[in-house]
Structure 1
Amino acid sequence: MTTKLTLTIDDSVISVAKKYAKNKGKSLSDIVENYLMTLTSKESKDETISPRILKLMGVIELPEDFDYKREITNSLSEKYKL
């Protein structure tokens, strides 16, 4: 179920956010919803994630199709070449 929500946000922020959403191929509503879900679920995750790791979150932007398992496999294969 979805519910309409009215927010008061500075015009310049809305303009930049709309451009960001368009570049990501998403709606601004989707981005806000995902952010709120991340924000509210983060409270329970914070207890299990080290503060050092939390500082690193969001530092690197990777492509959406990034396959970390393949990268780890490639890196380890290269490291342990015979």
Structure 2
Amino acid sequence: MQTKLTLSVEETLIQQAKSYAKANGKSVSQIVAEFFTVISSTSTDNRKVKAKPVTEKLLGCMATSNIDENDYKEYLQSKYK
């Protein structure tokens, strides 16, 4: 049985989702359903969604960061006072 789900997200994200769906020959509903299926899997291995190559590259650039953790914490504390 299918039911309707209403999501509140930024308009730009909706447009990106529609473009992605069209490019992949699917509906936004199909893509969301597939995503929910992956994240709700009972197997621990299946719950881990593999990062896209771009994400992996971005994570790699942070590994060599020279930012001191304490300096970063102080920065955030002063920013959000």
Q: TM-score range with shorter-chain normalisation? A: 0.5 to 0.7
The aligned counterpart of 1:72 is: none
Aligned match of 1:78: none
1:1-80 paired onto structure 2 within 5 Å: 1-41=1-41, 43-46=42-45, 57-59=50-52
What is the TM-score normalised by the length of structure 1? 0.54
Residues 25-50 of structure 1, C-alpha deviations (whole Å, 9 max, x = no match): 00000000000110111x5233x8xx
- Shift of the 10–40 alpha-carbon distance from structure 1 to 2, 3 Å rule, reads same
Runs of 5+ in structure 1 lacking a partner? 49-53, 61-82
Q: Which letter does structure 1 place at the counterpart of 2:44? A: K
TM-score, scaled relative to structure 2: 0.55
Q: What percentage of residue pairs aligned between the two structures are identical? A: 40
Q: Aligned partners of 2:14 and 2:39: how far apart in 1? A: 19
Report the aligned-residue RMSD: 2.6
Paired with 1:16 and 1:59, the residues of 2 have a C-alpha distance of 16
Equivalent pairs, count: 53
**5+ unaligned residues in a row in structure 2: which ranges?**
54-81
Moved over 3 A (4+): none
Distance in 1 separating the partners of 2:39 and 2:33: 10
Whichever residue aligns with residue 12 of structure 1, its letter is T
